[in-house]
Chains A and B, each alone.
Chain A
Amino acid sequence: DADVTQTPRNRITKTGKRIMLECSQTKGHDRMYWYRQDPGLGLQLIYYSFDVKDINKGEISDGYSVSRQAQAKFSLSLESAIPNQTALYFCATSDPGTENTGELFFGEGSRLTVL
């Protein structure tokens, strides 16, 4: 089983709908991240969390919200989806003890299409 699991892997929805992408991890890491990737581009950081009580905005947080329900779970919500939020979304984790290695562990991605 994957260490970082994202659900759903694929989702098609309509403009205005509320969508939640979920991420769970078995690595025991305190730090979790949500990234977005548009076709042909690199990843952009949406939100990140260093522990259950900590939530921080990334580069492109507008239109998104997150919830850190437990150390192992970090959810991304689109309250009212719009077509330009069509993208590939990645969840990642890291261990603060290895921060200088810069090593993030990524899930397999959730492909979201907003019609």
Chain B
Amino acid sequence: DAKTTQPTSMDCAEGRAANLPCNHSTISGNEYVYWYRQIHSQGPQYIIHGLKNNETNEMASLIITEDRKSSTLILPHATLRDTAVYYCIVRAPNQGGKLIFGQGTELSVKP
């Protein structure tokens, strides 16, 4: 699976959009990009995933560059409850659900 690079930490003002970058320059054509978050020692929570096209759901938007070498997770209106560690994961299909987590980005949403 392709390796990902994320900033260690980021701050965001409450109510503003949080844009979390992820670099995956060695991604292969069949590998998906997944985002999870973990709120203070709780079990990680699935957010969104994508292959080529941008995706949006009730939690966030995922923007994948045309060359697929990087992506950005967008939380459109961050709240204090969005403070968490966000993991960007790249994985090929047919891996039986296995995910390899890196160290992620610690997002702090401030009042």
Contact = CB atoms under 8 A, between A and B. Distances in A.
Interface in A62-106: 88, 90, 92, 94, 96, 99-106
B97 A94 contact: yes
Contacts, number: 69
Interface of B: 32, 34, 36, 41-46, 49, 87, 89, 91, 93-104
Nearest to B43: A106
B97 A99 contact: yes
A104 B42 CA distance: 14
Given A41-B103, A42-B87, A104-B46, A31 B41 contact: no
A99 B41 contact: no
A96 B98 CA distance: 11
- Which applies to chain B's interface (DSSP): helix, strand, loop or mixed? loop
Nearest to A54: B96
B101 A33 contact: no
Contacts of B102: 42
A113 interface: no
Nearest to B85: A42
Given A42-B101, A42-B104, A44-B101, A99 B43 contact: no
A94 to B, nearest CB: 4
Interface of A: 4, 31, 33, 35, 40-45, 48, 50, 58-59, 88, 90, 92, 94, 96, 99-109, 111
A104 B99 contact: yes
Given A43-B44, A106-B44, A100 B32 contact: yes
Contacts of B42: 106, 108-109
Given A44-B101, A50-B96, A106 B89 contact: no
CB-CB nearest 3 A-B residue pairs: A106-B43, A42-B101, A94-B97
Contacts of B34: 102
Nearest to B8: A40
Contact of B98 (A45, A88, A101): A45
Contacts of B95: 99
17 contacts: A31-B96, A31-B97, A42-B87, A58-B98, A92-B43, A96-B96, A96-B97, A99-B96, A102-B49, A102-B89, A102-B91, A104-B99, A105-B46, A106-B44, A108-B43, A109-B41, A109-B43
